[in-house]
A and B are shown apart, each in its own frame.
Chain A
Amino acid sequence: MNNIVGGDSLGEADIEAAYGSGDGDLDTSATVATAPKGQIFEQIYRPWNGSLGPRWVRNYAIYRHHVYGIISGSGHRRYHPFVRLTLLVVILGSMTPILMLLLSSMVSGDATGFLNRMWGVNRYNLWGNVLGYFPRNLCMWPLLTALVVGGLVSDDRKNGTSALYFSRPISRLDYASMKWLSAASVLATVILLTYMMYYSAAIVFKGEGWAFIADTIPIFLGGLVAGFFLVFTYTSIGIALSSISTSRFTASVSFLGLILGSKVVAWLVEIQFETTYIYLLSPYDCLAHLGQWLVGLPPNYDHPLIMSVVSLLAMNAASLSIFASRVSSLEVTRE
């Protein structure tokens, strides 16, 4: 048994005397005023005899909490109304090519040729829908990621809600993967879904036939794969940043800074020193390089593709390992 201090007497308990009690004097003094209030209620404990669902139910709950939060204003994870508005603008913005396609199919004459070249389905436009320079990939996609990812993990660290997850049968892996998946889903919806809609719209509005589809499908699929890599990479980097910082704002701003900054610096270096190697440090450019190859466009970069691919893998690996280590350091109790 345990009792190191057991057995005989523990001795005498300490006496304490409050200040003001003096030596047992009779006289003391005071002044008073007055006020009232009150309440009552019945407290009854109700047991629960339901059964708990398996792992996928819990994981889906995490996923739903994050994803639904974007759509609905209450009941799930709260996103600031401004954020949701911006996301709406981004998704509408990414659907403008579809609008342009509609227009081009309605207008006839010289204009048609022009509109077709600008918005019709061709290698460059397909690539552009996913990885195009401006305003998309340099403004909309990073902004989108930044807004979705800000606070994803940092909020839990700040509010201490990690205790809620880990004191339940949720493993760190489940937590991490569901969070990652929820961010990736939102990105995928905006980027890949609109891309697919664009392609389908092009076929529908132009009344294209099977020959056209057979021709363009490989390019389309190439773009889709490039888009997938984009979503994966941006989500990983963004979530890694969110797991390092303690505020939504810092994570978002750092992400934007990283993507845009690295792009701009590499571009300046290219102009000044005529070398494209620095682009290896810019996630966007590595993705663009890979995308160009997948879609069949001539590359803008002088360095071999394999280097961009390796850089991309390295960036993803680094981000995911940072993310993993930060998640495993989230506390449940503190002493």
Chain B
Amino acid sequence: MGQLEGGFDIANPIIQIRGLRKLYGPHVALDGVDLDIGTGGVGILGPNGSGKSTLFKCILGLIRITEGGGEVLGKDIVTMGPDIRSKIGYMAEYDSLDPGLTAVDQVRYAGELLGMRPDQATQRAHEVLQYVGLQDQRYRKIETFSTGMRQATKLACAIVHDPQILFCDEPTNGLDASARQFMLDTLRRTISDGGGTVIMTSHVMEDIQGVCDRVVMLSGGKVVVEGRIDELARQITREIEISVWGGATKMEQWLLQHGHKVRRMGRIMRIEHQGDQTIRAILEGASETGAQVRVLREYEPDLEDIFLLIMRKLGKSAKSSSDLKGVPGK
């Protein structure tokens, strides 16, 4: 197997991990992880149980490492945990807010816990709550907040001290379409305007793509892929995707007859892209068969495709309902 071109711009890595191993008794959570992470947006992916959470805990200096080590912002993760945690922000996946406090009190307390004076913390709390869109609700108690507002408050607590690195664990959990969009926009802006780094995990590949330009994928406690999303996407066979209305079967046959490699499912077809003539051929086929090609574009593989193909390469594919069959008596 060859090497992947590219990888990260590791001229100035802000996180460096070498040979990290973590064992919980006999269970190997992390099995020799080597990683360099630079600034910008980085997504951490992996199936459940791949070690993402453990990796975070190690980087944050929260658990004892079995072997290996690393540095975050130039500080050793084994010995300088508290220092590291003053420079980073962490947005937990689950509830981590006190429902009896108002948003501004909670964020202020979060700042004070870092060592801010009450006056500094109060001023920052207001600023940061405005940034996350809770300007009008900051005096309300958190118990009255919707999920979207709680997520925003968690984000506010995490960025109250303008950290250099922001770790987000499933930041769009439970958010509806507009709240989700807003959260992703906010995270993107934090990278572009704030100049910081966002390290994000999510099960929704779409979200990671919306914020990060690079990914690290873990499986079974090891790093299996590390690179820029656009470069990884280029490794997937180029195809033109079309959506056909009124005659997909005829269209498919026409294309096959004319020597094109076609895959089809319902009204969607993918034709292997062999240059300009492919598109021309599609249009010819459409005008000859009378079918309507309502959508035509170069299929751009997204992160989800990359993830699935990589998992397939590792021997794990998605299942279908045939895997659910065959029990006596039913």
A and B touch in the complex (CB under 8 A): yes
A: residues with CB less than 8 A from B are 1-18, 21-26, 41, 43-50, 52-55, 57-58, 61-62, 64-65, 74-78, 155, 159-171, 332-335
Q: Interface-forming stretch among B48-56, B205-213, B277-285?
A: B48-56
B29 → A minimal CB distance (Å)? 9
CB <8 Å contact, B52 and A335: yes
CB <8 Å contact, B116 and A50: yes
CB <8 Å contact, B124 and A332: no
Taking each of A8, A41, A55, A164, which has the highest tally of chain B beta carbons within 10 Å of its own beta carbon? A164
Q: Which residue of B lies closest to A17 (CB)?
A: B266
Q: Which residue of A lies closest to B101 (CB)?
A: A78
A27 → B minimal CB distance (Å)? 9
CB <8 Å contact, A169 and B116: no
**Interface of B: prevailing SS:** mixed
CB <8 Å contact, A24 and B247: yes
With beta carbons under 8 angstroms apart, the residue of B57, B133, B246 that contacts A26 is B246
The CA-CA distance from A62 to B270 in the complex, in Å, is: 60
CB <8 Å contact, B86 and A16: no
CB <8 Å contact, A13 and B237: yes
| Further 6 A-B residue pairs, CB within 8 A, beyond A2-B226, A163-B94 | A2-B7, A15-B263, A15-B264, A24-B247, A57-B115, A169-B114
Q: Which residue of B lies closest to A58 (CB)?
A: B115
With beta carbons under 8 angstroms apart, the residue of A24, A159, A164 that contacts B248 is A24
Question: Is B110 interfacial (CB-CB < 8 Å)?
Answer: yes
Contacts of B186 in A (CB 8 A): 43
Question: What's the count of A-B pairs with C-beta under 8 Å?
Answer: 245
Question: Is B310 interfacial (CB-CB < 8 Å)?
Answer: yes
CB <8 Å contact, B236 and A163: no
Interface residues on B, range: 35 or more
B154 → A minimal CB distance (Å)? 9
CB <8 Å contact, B224 and A74: no
CB <8 Å contact, A48 and B266: no
With beta carbons under 8 angstroms apart, the residue of B1, B48, B194 that contacts A4 is B1
- Given A23-B267, A25-B245, A75-B105, does the pair A58, B114 have CB atoms closer than 8 Å? yes
Per-residue interface assignment for chain B, residues 238 to 255, with 1 indicating a CB less than 8 Å from any chain A CB and 0 otherwise = 010100111111010000
CB <8 Å contact, B263 and A12: yes
A206 → B minimal CB distance (Å)? 44
Question: Is B18 interfacial (CB-CB < 8 Å)?
Answer: no
CB <8 Å contact, B225 and A52: no
CB <8 Å contact, B85 and A167: yes
A137 → B minimal CB distance (Å)? 31
With beta carbons under 8 angstroms apart, the residue of B98, B128, B249, B301 that contacts A155 is B98
B99 → A minimal CB distance (Å)? 6
CB <8 Å contact, A4 and B189: no
A8 → B minimal CB distance (Å)? 6
- Given A11-B309, A12-B236, does the pair A1, B117 have CB atoms closer than 8 Å? no
